[in-house]
């Protein structure tokens, strides 16, 4: 007889969702979190896209600690001297919300509280050392000299899943599986943020840039997200490019981004509240491990569930959805009184038809585009030069856009065959 029906490792969006759903379905649940309070080890960009939380808490938009709803989405290129971007604002996102900026210590704290209210036992400040096994079945967790037993363990440890890796339940992490995320949260008044970004009534901005000013094949993206009275500014760095260069410091890329002539004014006179770093899952469908086994399931970032095609970035909503699916599988197992591998396969079945896995399957190989010199080197420069030449008055007779584009294409040092191939790939995959 196990002490708990289920033990959840990690009180992030995946773990708290699983714990809450299982507890409210009558399971005896233990949620173990190493941070104290929950959320004190968590970092994300972070925009919570989508409406997954409504599946757990219908009133979440009123009660969850959300910063601002996103009404303005920017995707652009930054070069040394220029900014080129798509700047999309719509009243439609005021009426029908598509995403909210969040700060994870607050969000995860709230979600852990909700799991507790649903009936889960939440213990914090406890680091799980590993899993307890019996006859090739996971029967609980190990912590110091202690074993706590359960019928199923939900591993929701985040992007650096020590237990899952050490227990051999997922492959170790390689360069292409993750990127280095670095963030600074900068304090400004709500009014200053509203004025600088032209925002009103709780509306917010989510802006992402490809950093075309980086050299020697180093690739990174930058982001600016407005919170209520802070701005989250950060970078996401490709590890393979950084390794190949082996001269650029990750934290210097962060500095270069916030000191860019078109980023710095947004952050001017802001006070640094927090500096943080976190791995960002980038490996796509190939990085997703087997999601279940005898007595365990893996959810959220631990399962590599995240997605970016350069325009859209998703992670927390997948985590919540996977936590809910893990809970559904556990509830079904409880009804059957059996938590074997074939029973927990139901989690996999749910996930294979989930938005997360469908997205990741559909966009398989997308990192070949999002982390390509096309996006991070050629396009930023090309866009800058074409627009410059179009708007710069020389007093000479004007040229067609096509002429300007062709001149810049021919003048570019970029390999033309590679360009053709990468353009094709981009149009197919993005």
Looking only at residues 15 through 74 of this chain, which bind another protein when binding is defined by CB under 8 A?
A: 34-36, 39-44, 46
Q: Give min distance, CB of 111 to another protein, in A.
A: 12
* C-alpha to C-alpha distance for 6 and 325, rounded to whole angstroms: 14
Sketch the per residue contact string, 109 through 148, with another protein: x for CB under 8 A, - otherwise: ---------------xxxx---------------------
Spell out the residues 6+ positions from residue 139 whose beta carbon is closer than 8 angstroms to its own: 2, 132, 133, 149, 150, 295
Q: Give min distance, CB of 216 to another protein, in A.
A: 12
* C-alpha to C-alpha distance for 350 and 155, rounded to whole angstroms: 17
Task: Determine, following the binding rule CB under 8 A, whether residue 314 of this chain makes contact with another protein.
Answer: no
Task: Determine, following the binding rule CB under 8 A, whether residue 317 of this chain makes contact with another protein.
Answer: no
- The site that binds another protein (CB under 8 A) totals a number of residues, namely 53
Closest to 317 (Cα-Cα) out of 1, 113, 45 = 45
| Strands, E assignment, 323-409 | none
Q: How many CB atoms lie within 10 A of CB 139?
A: 21
Sketch the per residue contact string, 152 through 191, with another protein: x for CB under 8 A, - otherwise: -------xx-x----------xxx-xx-xxx-xx------
* C-alpha to C-alpha distance for 268 and 144, rounded to whole angstroms: 47
Stretch that binds another protein, among 22-30, 209-217, 240-248, 389-397 (CB under 8 A): 240-248
Stretch that binds another protein, among 21-29, 248-256, 292-300, 397-405 (CB under 8 A): 248-256
- Per the structure block, which two tokens stand in for 262? 């078109």
Alpha helices (runs of H) in 375-414, residue ranges in sequence order: 379-391, 401-411
Task: Determine, following the binding rule CB under 8 A, whether residue 248 of this chain makes contact with another protein.
Answer: yes
Residue 86: DSSP 8-state: E
If the CB atoms of residues 147 and 276 are measured against another protein, the closer one turns out to be 276
* C-alpha to C-alpha distance for 189 and 192, rounded to whole angstroms: 5
Binding site residues, another protein, CB under 8 A: 34-36, 39-44, 46, 103-108, 124-127, 159-160, 162, 173-175, 177-178, 180-182, 184-185, 230, 239, 242-243, 245-251, 254, 272-279
């Amino acid at each position: 007889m196990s002490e708990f029906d289920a033990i959840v490792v990690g009180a992030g969006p995946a773990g708290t969702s699983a714990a809450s759903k299982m507890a409210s379905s009558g399971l005896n649940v233990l949620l173990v979190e190493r941070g104290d309070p929950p959320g004190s080890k968590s970092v994300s960009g972070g925009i919570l896209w989508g409406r997954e939380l409504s599946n757990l808490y219908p009133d979440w938009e009123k009660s969850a600690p959300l910063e601002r709803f996103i009404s303005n989405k920017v995707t652009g290129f930054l070069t040394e001297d220029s900014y080129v971007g798509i700047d999309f604002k719509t009243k439609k996102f005021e009426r029908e919300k598509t995403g909210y900026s969040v700060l994870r210590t607050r969000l995860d704290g709230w979600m852990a509280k909700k799991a507790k209210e649903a009936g889960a036992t939440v213990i914090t400040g406890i680091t799980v050392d590993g899993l307890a096994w019996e006859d090739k079945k996971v029967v609980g967790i190990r912590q110091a000299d202690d074993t706590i037993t359960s019928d199923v363990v939900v591993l929701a440890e985040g992007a650096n899943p020590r237990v899952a890796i050490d227990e051999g339940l997922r492959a170790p992490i390689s360069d292409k599986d993750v990127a280095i995320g670095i963030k600074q949260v900068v304090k400004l008044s709500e009014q200053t943020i509203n004025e600088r970004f032209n925002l009103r009534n709780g509306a917010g901005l989510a802006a992402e840039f490809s950093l075309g000013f980086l050299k020697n094949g180093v690739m990174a993206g930058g982001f600016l997200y407005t919170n209520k009275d802070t701005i989250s500014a950060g970078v996401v760095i490709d590890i393979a490019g950084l390794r190949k260069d082996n001269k650029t410091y990750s934290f210097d890329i962060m500095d270069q981004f916030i000191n860019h002539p078109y980023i710095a004014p947004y952050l001017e006179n802001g006070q640094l509240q927090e500096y943080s770093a976190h791995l960002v899952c980038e490996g796509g469908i190939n990085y997703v491990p087997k999601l279940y086994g005898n007595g365990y399931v893996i959810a959220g970032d631990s399962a590599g569930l995240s997605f970016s095609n350069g325009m859209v970035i998703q992670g927390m909503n997948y985590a919540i959805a996977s936590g809910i699916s893990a809970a559904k599988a556990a509830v079904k197992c409880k009804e059957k009184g059996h938590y074997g591998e074939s029973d927990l396969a139901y989690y996999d079945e749910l996930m294979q038809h989930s938005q997360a896995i469908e997205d990741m399957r559909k966009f398989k190989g997308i990192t070949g585009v999002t982390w390509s010199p096309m996006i991070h080197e050629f396009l930023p420069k090309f866009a800058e030069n074409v627009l410059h030449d179009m708007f710069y008055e020389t007093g000479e007779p004007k040229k067609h856009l096509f002429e300007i584009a062709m001149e810049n294409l021919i003048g570019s040092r970029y390999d033309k065959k590679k360009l053709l191939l990468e353009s094709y790939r981009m149009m197919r995959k993005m």
